[in-house]
Amino acid sequence: AQSVSQHNHHVILSEAASLELGCNYSYGGTVNLFWYVQYPGQHLQLLLKYFSGDPLVKGIKGFEAEFIKSKFSFNLRKPSVQWSDTAEYFCAVNARQAGTALIFGKGTTLSVSS
């Protein structure tokens, strides 16, 4: 079975600081990887995803993530955060061949001060 670890529970940054949120997964086979964001009071929405090809994927609002297979990692990055990036961020994985549902990490709360 798959599992996901997000190491940062709460990250506090000032505007314009760079962001990197860690995500590691546990699964021996091929996976699809996702980052979702939940803004305060809103529903979960997709930031970006990786399923094949270039391991560096770009998503909405200037976010990107890099899949490093050897490290079982899919870290989320943004060069310069804004106050509006304050939200909860979830990494998720599913097994490509097995047809399984998404398994989520615990989430990381990002607070950006202006």
Partner 1 sequence: ETGVTQTPRHLVMGMTNKKSLKCEQHLGHNAMYWYKQSAKKPLELMFVYNFKEQTENNSVPSRFSPECPNSSHLFLHLHTLQPEDSALYLCASSPYLGGEKDYTFGSGTRLTVV
Whichever of 81 and 92 has its CB closer to partner 1, that residue is: 92
- 61 lies in the binding site for partner 1 (CB under 8 A): no
Whichever of 17 and 22 has its CB closer to partner 1, that residue is: 22
Kindly identify the residues of this chain, within the stretch 67-96, that bind partner 1 according to CB under 8 A. 90, 94-96
Q: Which two tokens stand for residue 87?
A: 């939200």
Following DSSP, what letter does each residue of 24-86 receive, concatenated?
A: EEE-SS-EEEEEEEE-TTS--EEEEEESSS-SEEE-GGG-EEEEEGGGTEEEEEESS--GGG-
Whichever of 54 and 101 has its CB closer to partner 1, that residue is: 101
Number of chain residues interacting with partner 1 (CB under 8 A) = 27
- 105 lies in the binding site for partner 1 (CB under 8 A): yes
Q: Given candidates 45, 80, 84, 113, which one binds partner 1 under the rule CB under 8 A? A: 45
Closest CA relative to residue 19, chosen from 43, 47, 52, 42: 47
Given the rule CB under 8 A, which residues bind partner 1? 4, 9, 32, 34, 36, 42-46, 49, 51-52, 90, 94-96, 98-107
